């Protein structure tokens, strides 16, 4: 059975220094659970209610953070792209909107591209001029001992209506040179950490090497982007944690 589902959440400042969640609606394989907040921020965990995304599925998650609100979104476990009975790729779309004075931490667990799967993933972010964003993406190419599926992911970020970052990555069968020295060089895990913060205007981030296969690069925005490849999920997370510590 092909799944069509969209999960939605809205975060708003509650006027008492905290953040309320007037909309928290899971759908299909995406169940949303409010968890204990930290320092006035609301926390939401995405829980897998069923297997997916499978071939042919179309699922989406929409999150809107209102003025002055603070929201952290994580997931209970890795997302596994699997082959399905339906023809065609699975589609997973994430749409994030962050208003002035608001902050969003998008920190899901890794996406695993299982053998035989085909997934098209898009993440679109709209930021107001004084919004803050911390976004982490981690992709694991194949489960232990298996080749990866086909994975194409695109990240598009606009700040104040202007493009800040637009990039697309393609891995697995059919993607030219994806495992060569110019791309992954034999590594099976790839990820990035994007931080957009108006404070970088006064305190720019300097480019630096974080590890053997991880670098931190300033972006016009103001923003900083850390990119890393690694042999596995553990080493990838360590590299991105180091990037988070470097940008503060």
pLDDT tens for 12-53 read: 999 999 999 999 999 988 999 999 888 889 999 999 867 778
Rounded Cα distance, 27 and 60, in Å: 9
What's residue 41's pLDDT? 94
What's residue 149's pLDDT? 92
Q: In the predicted model, is pLDDT for residue 199 greater than 80?
A: yes
Strands 4-13 and 58-65: what pairing?
parallel
Please give the structure tokens belonging to residue 236.
């990838």
What's residue 185's pLDDT? 80
Mean pLDDT for 220-229 is 92
What's residue 88's pLDDT? 83
Split at pLDDT 50, 70, 90, the class of 9 is very high
What's residue 59's pLDDT? 94
Rounded Cα distance, 226 and 43, in Å: 24
pLDDT tens for 94-118 read: 999 999 999 999 999 999 999 999 9
């Amino acid at each position: 059975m092909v799944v069509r589902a969209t999960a939605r959440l809205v975060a708003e400042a509650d006027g008492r220094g905290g953040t309320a969640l007037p909309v928290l609606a899971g759908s299909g394989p995406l169940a949303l659970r409010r968890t204990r907040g930290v320092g006035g921020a609301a926390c939401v965990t995405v829980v897998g209610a069923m297997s997916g995304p499978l071939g042919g599925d179309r699922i989406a998650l929409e999150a809107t953070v209102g003025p002055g609100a603070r929201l952290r979104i994580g997931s209970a476990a890795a997302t596994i792209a699997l082959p399905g009975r339906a023809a065609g790729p699975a589609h997973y779309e994430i749409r994030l909107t962050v208003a002035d004075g608001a902050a969003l931490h998008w920190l899901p667990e890794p996406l695993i591209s299982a053998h035989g799967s085909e997934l098209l993933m898009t993440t679109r972010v709209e930021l107001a001029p004084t919004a803050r964003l911390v976004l982490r993406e981690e992709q694991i190419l194949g489960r232990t001992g298996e080749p990866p599926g086909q994975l194409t992911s695109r990240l598009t970020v606009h700040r104040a209506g202007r493009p800040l970052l637009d990039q697309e990555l393609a891995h697995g069968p059919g993607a030219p040179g994806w495992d060569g020295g110019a791309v992954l060089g034999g590594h099976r895990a790839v990820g990035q950490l994007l931080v957009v913060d108006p404070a970088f205007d006064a305190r720019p981030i300097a480019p630096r090497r974080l590890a053997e296969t991880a670098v931190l690069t300033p972006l016009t925005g103001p923003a900083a982007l850390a990119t890393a490849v690694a042999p596995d999920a553990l080493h990838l997370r360590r590299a991105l944690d180091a990037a988070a510590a470097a940008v503060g």
